Amino acid sequence: MLAIYKRELKSYFQSMVGCVFIAFLMVFTGIYFMAYNLMSGYPCFSYTLSGSLIVFIVGIPLITMRSFSEERKNKTDQLLLTAPVSLGKVVMGKYLAIVTVIAIPNVIFCIYPLIIKSQGTAYLMVDYISILVFFLLGCVYAAIGMFLSSLTESQIIAFISTFGILLVLYLWDGILSMLPSSALSGLVGVLIILSVAAFYIWQMTGNAVLAGAIEIIGAAAGIITYIVRSSLFENLLSNLLGRLALANVFTDITSNSIVDITGIVLYLSFIAVFVFLTVQAIQKRRWS
Amino acid sequence: MIEVRNLVKKYGNHLAVDHLDFKIEDGRIYGFLGPNGAGKSTTMNIMTGYLGATEGEVLINGHDILKEPEEAKKHIGYLPELPPLYMDMTVREYLEFAAELKKIPKKKREDSVTEVEKLVKIKDVENRLIKNLSKGYRQRVGLAQAVLGFPEIIILDEPTVGLDPKQIIEIRELIRKLSERHTVILSSHILAEVREVCDHILIISKGKLVASDTPENLEKMMGDADTVEIETKASPSQIRELLKNIPGIEQITCESGQDGVTCAQIREKRGEDVRESVFRAFAENRQILLTLKNVHVSLEDVFMELTQRDTVPDAFSRKQDDFSRSRAENVNITVKEEKTQSVPEEPDEIAENPETEWVDTDREGDEEDAGNL
């Protein structure tokens, strides 16, 4: 694992991608820092960071796009997969290298609150926690990007799809506000999600009985609940899907100074799920 | 030792590897031979754990490649068809990375990298970026990576592709040198190469193993009868008349050429040389003989015979049966089908000379048979 980690990290800085990412993030944050903290005298660095969030949406796909797609295209994955190293370690090695690249600018960010403090009042606790959560959010985005990169041979497709998904996640709140809130639409939404899940199960297992049973039982349960207590379905969709607005955990800290521990757990679970899915995606390709 | 049992690989509906079964013994050089798309690379990829098999298992020194991958992969060095090189690394960096990946202890790492660099002669380019190397050098770096740590089994997928003749000879020598301490498996579609380097050949066609033996035995097996080719001005019926009484002839195939010249292939029984008798028969009857020469069956013919026909496995197993039986009993046994065909037509011949089996070849089946040889 260490060998892969070292090689990856080195290659990020040899191929300039890592440098470009860090420079990009530093320049943007620097501009916001100048504008908000130094020029306007606002004492919270966390607010500056929330402006830099948009850089992640472009920057993270940039560093994750090549992680697996390039290996696959150049067939160098043959070296990794025939070496006496387990696949999980290969994926972890690569993921940790990406995380390290994301960590570097975040470590540098730790200086900024001190600069503010040297000029007057600073809210160090909030600022440092926001930097940590900002870093974790980057790690979640990186896990998603790495997963998408493992699905394709083309770096361009990996970049575009990761960028698209991160952008949708960024705009998620706005999209959710367009969803209807009535109980009936909640039911319809649940049924649609259920059908998609059943279809996916059918595709994966090829077992029509199992998928059909899940669909029918789920639909029946949903409809009965709706008849008994329709109020449960009110705002269900936006509540359910609202969990996916990952950046909210971070913006809560930056705008309201509220730290949501469950949100941090959510981040860690997202990372675990996508790293696991990456391993599975590569395994699947070996078998098909 | 590698054991491959009942290996099947399907890509959708396409059967890439079809119930392969073989054993690789220690300390020999094995050659995988087969036309393009025969399933050589797929088999190697499964053996090294890069791909999963649809059915069947691969045991490397008793470790299942799928159940105990890390243990099994320690015994293998693999050079895939396209060397897996990171273009942005120098040769030295790359090999050190590979050494670490193969879990060579830190103290030995430097030494073992230097050793393989010397072995494949890339010491002088060790500080160059791989992307700046020529194809031949890249191939050697890939080979160095496979040999690194000196695993017991070294698997090379078309190791000499893209090399110039001098490099090919060097690589062959290297492979021979490696075989002193290692089991080497290499694949190729170049017959001469396999013939020259390998102790044992596995011929694969359409995902099936169609032959597995030493090169010499394969040639013998197919060439259980050598062929004499003649060109004459006699007509096919005259030829048949002339050669009728020569013992040791198994089969004659005639082909009328231009200007009244007939070309005939005379298949002899093993161990017989009928050239003299043929010459005498023609001379005594004052017929003109233009050419008379021996044609040996080469590995190339074996390869063509085994891989070009749809009925390969049957034909092969029949021949193999015959071959093994004749080896055991030391008698000439001819192909049964031909015997049964010829019995009703020429009973006298059989009665007169039960050991001689010769067949009129104007019949369709034999024509086809002869054409392929």
pLDDT of amino acid A173: 80
Which site among B41, B50, B54, B87 would you substitute to test the A interface, given the most A Cβ atoms closer than 10 Å to its Cβ?
B50
Look up the domain containing B196 and give its range: 2-214
Average pLDDT on B38-46 reads: 89
Average pLDDT on B80-85 reads: 91
Residues B172, B123 share a domain: yes
Nearest residue, CB atoms, B78 vs list A11, A82, A288: A82
Average pLDDT on B124-143 reads: 91
Residues B235, B184 share a domain: no
Q: Which of B214, B242, B269 is the last residue of a domain?
A: B214
Judged against a pLDDT cut of 90, whether residue A288 lies above it is answered with no
Chain A residues with CB under 8 Å of B89 CB are: 7, 11
Which amino acid appears at position B134 of this protein? Answer: S
Which site among B101, B109, B152, B154 would you substitute to test the A interface, given the most A Cβ atoms closer than 10 Å to its Cβ?
B101
Judged against a pLDDT cut of 80, whether residue B358 lies above it is answered with no
Judged against a pLDDT cut of 70, whether residue B335 lies above it is answered with no
For residues A72 and B272, what is the distance between their CA atoms, to the nearest angstrom? 58
Residues B209, B66 share a domain: yes
Residue B324: how many other CB atoms lie within 10 Å = 12
pLDDT 10s digits, B208-258: 888 888 877 877 766 555 778 888 888 888 888 888 878 878 778 888 777
Residues B72, B200 share a domain: yes
Number of domains observed in the structure of chain B:
2
Residues B176, B235 share a domain: no
For residues B252 and B249, what is the distance between their CA atoms, to the nearest angstrom? 8
Put simply, whether B111 touches A (Cβ < 8 Å) is no
Whether residues B84 and A76 touch (CB distance < 8 A) is answered with yes
Beta strands in chain B (DSSP E): 2-11, 14-24, 29-33, 55-60, 63-64, 76-79, 153-157, 183-188, 200-205, 208-213, 227-232, 249-256, 262-268, 289-295, 359-360
For residues A99 and A228, what is the distance between their CA atoms, to the nearest angstrom? 48
Average pLDDT on B148-162 reads: 88
Chain B residues with CB under 8 Å of A288 CB are: 11
Judged against a pLDDT cut of 80, whether residue B356 lies above it is answered with no
Average pLDDT on A131-140 reads: 94
pLDDT 10s digits, B47-67: 998 988 888 889 998 899 888
Whether residues B145 and A76 touch (CB distance < 8 A) is answered with no
Q: Which of B214, B249, B283 is the last residue of a domain?
A: B214
pLDDT 10s digits, A163-209: 999 999 888 888 888 877 777 888 888 888 889 988 888 887 778 88
Chain B residues with CB under 8 Å of A6 CB are: 97, 100
> How many residues make up chain A in this entry?
288
B174-180 LR contacts (CB < 8 Å, sep 24+):
B174/B119, B174/B120, B174/B143, B175/B29, B176/B29, B177/B119, B178/B147, B178/B154, B179/B27, B179/B28, B179/B29
Residues B93, B14 share a domain: yes
Q: Mean pLDDT for chain B?
A: 78
Per DSSP, the three-state class of B156 is: strand
Residues B232, B123 share a domain: no
Residues B162, B67 share a domain: yes
Lowest mean pLDDT among A112-126, A153-167, A171-185, A219-233: A171-185
Chain B residues with CB under 8 Å of A86 CB are: 69-70
Q: Mean pLDDT for chain A?
A: 89
Q: Which CATH number does the domain housing residue B137 bear?
A: 3.40.50.300
Q: Which of B214, B229, B251 is the last residue of a domain?
A: B214
Whether residues B86 and A287 touch (CB distance < 8 A) is answered with no
Average pLDDT on B69-77 reads: 90
Whether residues A287 and B52 touch (CB distance < 8 A) is answered with yes
- Asked if the interface predicted TM-score (ipTM) of this complex is over 0.85, the answer is no
Residues B202, B143 share a domain: yes
Whether residues A79 and B145 touch (CB distance < 8 A) is answered with yes
Average pLDDT on B323-348 reads: 41
Chain A residues with CB under 8 Å of B146 CB are: none
Average pLDDT on B166-186 reads: 87
DSSP code of A37?
I
Lowest mean pLDDT among A61-75, A85-99, B242-256: B242-256
Which pLDDT band holds residue B298 (cuts at 50, 70, 90)? low
Residues B79, B9 share a domain: yes
Cα distance from A201 to chain B (closest Cα, Å)?
20
Residues B174, B282 share a domain: no
pLDDT of amino acid A144: 95
Q: How would you class A193 by CB atoms within 10 Å of its CB: exposed for 0-12, middle for 13-18, buried for 19 or more? A: middle
pLDDT of amino acid B297: 66
Whether residues B89 and A11 touch (CB distance < 8 A) is answered with yes
Judged against a pLDDT cut of 50, whether residue B313 lies above it is answered with no
Residues B149, B55 share a domain: yes
Q: Which CATH number does the domain housing residue B316 bear?
A: 3.30.70.260
